[in-house]
Amino acid sequence: MAFKNDDDKAAYWKENLSLLAKLLVVWFVVSFGAGILFVDALNEIRFFGFKLGFWFAQQGSIYVFVVLIFVYMAKMNALDKKYGVDEE
Amino acid sequence: MDVQLLTFIIVGASFALYIAIAIWARAGSTTDFYVAGGGVPPVINGMATAADWMSAASFISMAGLISFMGYDGAVYLMGWTGGYVLLALCLAPYLRKFGKFTVPDFIGDRYYSQTARTVAVFCAIFVCFTYVAGQMRGVGVVFSRFLEVDIVTGVVIGMAIVFFYTVLGGMKGITYTQVAQYCVLIFAYLVPCVFISMMVTGHILPQTAFGATLADGSGIYMLDKLDQLSVDLGFTEYTNGSKSTIDVFFITFALMVGTAGLPHVIVRFFTVPKVRDARKSAGWALLFIAILYTTAPALASFGRVNMIETINGPDMAGTEISERPEWIRNWEKTGLITINDKNNDGKMYYSAGKASDPASANEVDVDRDIMVLANPEIANLPAWVIALVAAGGVAAALSTSAGLLLVISTSVSHDLLKRNFAPNITDKAELFYARLAAGVAIVIAGYFGINPPGFVAQVVAFAFGLAASSFFPAIIMGIFSKRMNGKGAISGMIAGIAFTAAYIIYFKFVNPAANTPDNWWFGISPEGIGTMGMMVNFVVAFVVYKMTGEAPQEIQDMVESIRFPKGAGEASGH
């Protein structure tokens, strides 16, 4: 048994899912939100030489994706340590 | 030195490098062959994953597609990168903890069903063959254009190289050659793009040059100029697409989910030592991919401006056909550019019409696939840059082919042979059959590369649709719903695939004339229907599960054990 007790196991999974949900909301908002659904509204805003919606669709969303994975990695490693289920 | 000799030297040197690495990283056991001994450091694995993922389509075709699609090209940019977020957050760490060699292994064990395993094997083989035929074709095109050997010779040379290092080295050989191939391809992609950014805007970074003002001192933003040019020539504005919002949404989603469900991508995460390495490696993979994917849209827009200005001249009145530049003459020989002087004024002119349509003003047809390869010539870059791009295109095609061939050989020797027909086979014999299967797969792929079925491009939509509507939901439910049972998951997969396949086959093969937005369901094109197939899969699986009861307790315990990293062993076949 890797966890101290069942409560810990449930709490770990709950924290994991809530982190996932938060990160996936960001994932959805930058790509499907800013890049597709609200692209016309955002295109009214200038960001350097870009229309903002166009920038999100062809540049910004990709940068955010990369950051999301590294944030996930750091938070999950911390969570594993907190519950003593890391691989060290 | 002329371009052709330089290309021979640079492509030849890259081949020598790949072969040297393959000899150094020979596989000694099935673990080496299937998952590189499970000991690949995360950064290295990330780089290899990036090379594995970025195919001839990403390297050669994608910027060209965006160049002609404008904003709509974002479906590929977001679709083929956003999938990695799903992969890293929802799939990779758990599948690594599960600790088997293949995706069909997971499906078969999790849903305690040999049928599920076999269905998964056939989907995996189909998806991989679809892809690999396109890669071999890409190798052939690069060879025929830059080395002026015919396509058959080009494909045979490509086959020989891939055969050598896949059969000899397995996953271990592939991983380390892919690292070299990533370096070659990213360098080859960035160098011409940096040159062109400098020329057009004075910025070194294509990512900032994309939103900068033109270098001619006019103070006009590059994208504004491109929008203006597009409208003047009768196209829609470059930064506004022509697809409907719902279609863009569904295509992007299908590509993301399809990416996360592709077996040759998932298997990469079985090669790292730990669960935390699987998370890290996904991050690095996407970072390495993002370098090319954020450069591509910049390249696409510069290429379009350059192309329009070269063909139509600075005053947008057309240029003399008799004085057309060398690169147009070269591509005309391959049939990928055609000129048709309709008003007989001796000038060529590019606009929104079709060159084949006598009533329209357009006199030049440019194939979308040539943008990346032609860009250095359009911008008059030095010969070594052109040679480098050829080597990069071949590296992209070879690295992806090798990864796909490995999944095919693993599926045949491990999932089909060992799991179904000969469970007592020795490790050594299994390795022999894996190599044999890889060899046979290369010959079949080469055949399709030389005689491409006319439907390669259409079938790619199929590959993503299938992965999106079958593997992705089955794996997600397998991890996040411990009670989901075998009957539910199998019915879900079958319903998802059947629905998606029927829609694609109807519009692409049975009745292609009806393939217009008016006839599509809710305006969703066949490229985007995988998203709906995925929903069908989830709904059917849930309903059947509700009627048939929970998965057995030992399966639920197994699912609980993959949800945390501690105790992850090396990937194994048992």
CB B340 within 8 A of CB B331: no
At residue B221, what are phi and psi to the nearest 5 degrees? Answer: -70, 140
Model confidence over B391-438: pLDDT tens digits? 998 888 888 888 888 888 888 888 787 777 777 888 888 888 888 888
Q: What percent of chain B has pLDDT over 70?
A: 96
Residues 14-53 of chain A with CB under 8 A from chain B are 16, 20, 23-24, 27, 31-32, 35-37, 39, 43, 47-51
CA–CA gap between residue B566 and residue B568 (Å, rounded): 6
Contact assignment for B84 to A36 by CB distance below 8 Å: no
CA closest to B244 among chain A residues: A36
CA–CA gap between residue B565 and residue B553 (Å, rounded): 21
Listed as own residue / partner, the contacts of B559-562 with beta carbons closer than 8 Å and 24 or more positions apart are: B559/B110, B559/B478, B559/B479, B559/B482, B560/A9, B560/B482, B561/B97, B562/B94, B562/B95, B562/B97, B562/B98, B562/B479
Q: What percent of chain B has pLDDT over 90?
A: 29
Angle between helices B472-480 and B245-261 (to 10 degrees): 70
Model confidence over B245-274: pLDDT tens digits? 999 999 999 999 998 988 888 888 888 888
CB B284 within 8 A of CB B43: yes
Show Cβ contacts of residue B451 under 8 Å, excluding neighbours closer than 6 positions: none
Residue type present at position B401: S
Model confidence over B224-234: pLDDT tens digits? 899 988 988 88
Whether A76 has its CB under 8 Å from any CB of chain B: the answer is yes
| The pLDDT value given to residue A35 | 92
Residues of B within 8 A of A20 (CB-CB) are: 89-90
| The pLDDT value given to residue B572 | 61
Interface test with A, best of B89, B280, B305 (most A CBs within 10 A): B89
Residue B65, pLDDT above cutoff 60: yes
| Start-to-end C-alpha separation, chain B | 56
Contact assignment for B290 to A62 by CB distance below 8 Å: yes
Burial readout B127-138 (b: 16 or more C-beta within 10 A, e: otherwise): bbbbbbbbbbbb
Interface test with A, best of B75, B245, B564 (most A CBs within 10 A): B564
| The pLDDT value given to residue B517 | 85
CB B324 within 8 A of CB B87: no
Largest CA distance in chain A: 57
Residue B140, pLDDT above cutoff 90: no
Contact assignment for B566 to A85 by CB distance below 8 Å: yes
Residues 55-74 of chain B with CB under 8 A from chain A are 66, 71, 73-74
CA–CA gap between residue B293 and residue B279 (Å, rounded): 21
Size of interface A-B (CB pairs under 8 A): 135
Contact assignment for A80 to B565 by CB distance below 8 Å: yes
Mean pLDDT of chain B: 86
Residue B335, pLDDT above cutoff 80: no
CA–CA gap between residue B53 and residue B403 (Å, rounded): 9
**Min Cα–Cα distance to chain A from B292, Å:** 11
CB B334 within 8 A of CB B365: no
Residues of A within 8 A of B294 (CB-CB) are: 59, 62-63
CA–CA gap between residue B514 and residue B387 (Å, rounded): 43
Residue B241, pLDDT above cutoff 90: no
**Min Cα–Cα distance to chain A from B239, Å:** 6
Contact assignment for B207 to A59 by CB distance below 8 Å: yes
Contact assignment for A65 to B286 by CB distance below 8 Å: yes
| More confidently predicted of B422 and B318 | B318
pTM of the model: 0.91
Q: How confident is the model at residue B571 (pLDDT cuts 50, 70, 90)?
A: low
| The pLDDT value given to residue B270 | 82
Interface test with B, best of A4, A18, A28, A36 (most B CBs within 10 A): A36
ipTM of predicted complex: 0.95
